[in-house]
Structure 1
Amino acid sequence: MITLPLIPIVPIVIGVIALIFLLSAFFTVKQQTAAVIERFGKFTSMRHSGLQLKIPVIDRVAGRINLRIQQLDVVVETKTKDDVFVRLKVSVQFQVIRDKVYDAFYRLQNPHDQITSYVFDVVRAEVPKMKLDYVFEKKDDIAIAVKRELNEAMLDYGYDIIKTLVTDIDPDIQVKAAMNRINASEREKVAAEYEAEAERIKIVAKARAEAESKRLQGQGIADQRREIARGLEESVDVLNNVGINSQEASALIVVTQHYDTLQSIGEETNSNLILLPNSPQAGSDMLNNMIASFTASAQIGEQMKKQSSKKNKDSKETDSLE
């Protein structure tokens, strides 16, 4: 019968326990984190990032504090001055002060609840003083008021308020719909005003263009008549130079123009224009009528001049007698 040597159990157990105790003496702390060490329930030290050493069984890591900047979003529902319920989302960025980790760990059990309470208190004190439109315009003032109040309250507990932001303002859905209708109406009003102004500008521009067109048309007609008169005058002078008197020259010109007009009408195959009168003696009749009207007009003018001269003479004699 073969007998195995007895393995000493007690030294092995002691060795394992010693190894566990040795390993439990070491611990690590992450970057931007602080570890709170307690000895028999009493605070002894604060350890920062790296490999740290503590007394096994006697010392223990009571907790760890995050030293990075953290953000807490708080949604607050309150009423404005014009009795509109609105929800505001306030984002608070805060950080534990490195020199006040003890206060941050031992004086506040739940810092998030504490910050939330202060945010509710400040927002419900500031927003009811404002109308809804001013809440949108003055959201930065609300954020500043929240930060000021939080800084005064949380600084003693080891927390620094970095920044507060009002990131969202959400009125009641019916109020939001009404605001959208008001905004749409305002935009339609502005659009109608611009359209009316554009139409007015078009009308003014069109009227100016028509006026300028009429002016140029009148100027063109005047220039045309001036050139015609100049041409007639030159024609009469040429005829006078060959021994034809003014009356005969005028008759000849009228007859010539009459037949030129008839010729131009005849060239147009689709023309429905009829010149009246169109008999051969029509030119002579027009000339005689023109001469008669000119003669009558000259006689009337002379008669009016005589009457005016006589009236002026009688008036001067009356003034001298007086």
Structure 2
Amino acid sequence: MEFIIIPIVLGLFILFASFFTVKQQSSFIVERFGKFQSIRNSGLQLKVPIIDRIAGRVNLRIQQLDVIIETKTKDNVFVKLKVSVQFKVIQEKVYEAFYKLEYPHDQITSYVFDVVRAEVPKLKLDDVFERKDDVAVAVKRELNDAMTTYGYDIINTLITDIDPDIQVKNAMNRINAADREKTAAEYEAEASRIRIVAKAKAEAESKKLQGQGIADQRREIAKGLLESVEVLNSVGINSQEASALIVVTQHYDTLQAIGADTNSNLILLPNSPQAGSDMLNNMVASFTASNQVGEAMKKANSTKRLSKRNSDDLEKNESEE
């Protein structure tokens, strides 16, 4: 019985060892006694047990490798760049990808370093930000030329981050802030100029309207005076007498209007050319008269005191006798 079970078990082992499956987007390398035999794609596959073996698996999906590089720009600024390389194995060149290149990631990293450190030192820092796509295209072109031989297709290269030194970054931020403050100051100055111009125009228009109003007012006053003179002439008063009467009437009307205001602190003074001189002469005369009255009062008081003193002395003498 045991002799029957052993061959059956051995047969089942050999049968199961003969079949294997390959997943989608993958390729298996089959070797026979250490020599390349075939490439097996997705699906159920058959191999000779013990003689054939699966040497390795090749991933056919798109892969991404991130490479961080530190280099110097043309204006001597050290900057770190993050380059993302998207690549895949060409299905028709699985043999080259598996046997010709042992460490594809290291190979791609070396080419990225070489290209970036050759392109970035040609550019200033600001140009690196503006022309990062040109650097990425150069990396892709160089990688495609080199990696196609090894069965790899470079799908895309992207520079996803540019990080200058922290001091340079702070300086750039200060420059940017200063530029924005300058722009804001220019806008504020322009707005102030517009306000000043608008205010000047408004004042000019106001003065113009005010002048027109005064002219209209004086025109109407002149018409009113003319009508008043005509009315007075019609009753036998000549023009000179009418003018004097109108002036006196307006004078007293003005005084009445001023007197009607109980809170007024207005003082009326003569306003003729001779008024200042007359006022000064009157003040001098007043001071002179005041001094004269004062002197007279002093003399009278002195005489009164002297008379009183003589009277007191006379009374004293009489009392002693």
Report Cα offsets for 1:158-204 as digits up to 9, x if no partner: 11111111111111112112222222222222222222222222222
Computing the radius of gyration from Cα coordinates, the structure with the larger value is 2
Partner of 1:55: 48
Q: Which residue of 2 aligns with 1:88?
A: 81
Identify which of 97, 103, 106 aligns with 1:110. Answer: 103
Deviation at 1:260, TM superposition (A): 2.2
Q: Find out whether 1:38 has 2:31 as its counterpart.
A: yes
Verify: 1:201 aligned to 2:197, yes or no: no
Preserved contact between residue 262 and residue 275 of structure 1 (Cα < 8 Å): no
1:96 Cα offset (Å): 1.1
Per-residue CA deviation, residues 94-127 of structure 1 (Å, 9 max, x unaligned), is: 1111111111111111111111010000001111
1-structure distance, mates of 2:46, 2:148: 31
The answer to whether residue 100 in structure 2 is matched with residue 129 in structure 1 is no
Q: Equivalent residue for 1:171?
A: 164
Question: Residue 4 of structure 2 aligns with which residue?
Answer: 11
Deviation at 1:49, TM superposition (A): 1.8
- The reply to whether residue 71 of structure 1 matches residue 59 of structure 2 is no
Residue type at the aligned position of 1:139: K
C-alpha spacing 1:242/1:27, structure 2 compared with 1 (3 Å): farther
Q: Hey, what's the Cα distance between the residues in 1 that align with 2:22 and 2:174?
A: 58
Task: Decide whether aligned partners of structure 1 residues 17 and 219 sit closer, same or farther in structure 2, where only a CA change above 3 A counts.
Answer: same
- For residues 159 and 171 of structure 2, the distance between their equivalents in structure 1, rounded to whole angstroms, comes to 23
* RMSD (Å) for aligned C-alpha atoms: 1.9
Match of 1:261 in 2: 254
Residue of structure 1 in register with 2:266 after alignment: 273
Aligned match for 2:93, one of 65, 89, 100: 100
Superposed, 1:110-259 pairs within 5 Å as: 110-259=103-252
Which amino acid is 2:126 matched to? D
Corresponding letter in the other structure for 2:174: R
Q: How does 1:295-314 map to 2 (within 5 A)?
A: none
Alignment check: 8 A CA contact 1:97 1:159 kept: yes
8 Å Cα contact 1:34/1:48 also seen in 2: yes
Q: 1:21 aligns with which of 6, 11, 14?
A: 14
Q: Deviations over 1:57-100 (max 9, x none)?
A: 22222111111111111111111111111111111111111111
- Distance in 2 separating the partners of 1:239 and 1:17: 153
Gaps of 5+ in 2: 273-321
Native 8 Å contact 1:91 1:166 kept in 2: yes
Unaligned runs of at least 5 residues, structure 1: 1-7, 283-322
Q: Residue 20 and residue 267 in structure 1: after superposition, are their counterparts in 2 closer, same or farther (change >3 A)?
A: farther
Which residue in 1 is equivalent to 2:308? none
For normalisation by structure 2, the TM-score amounts to: 0.79
- Once the two structures are TM-superposed, the CA of residue 15 in structure 1 deviates from its matched residue by 1.8
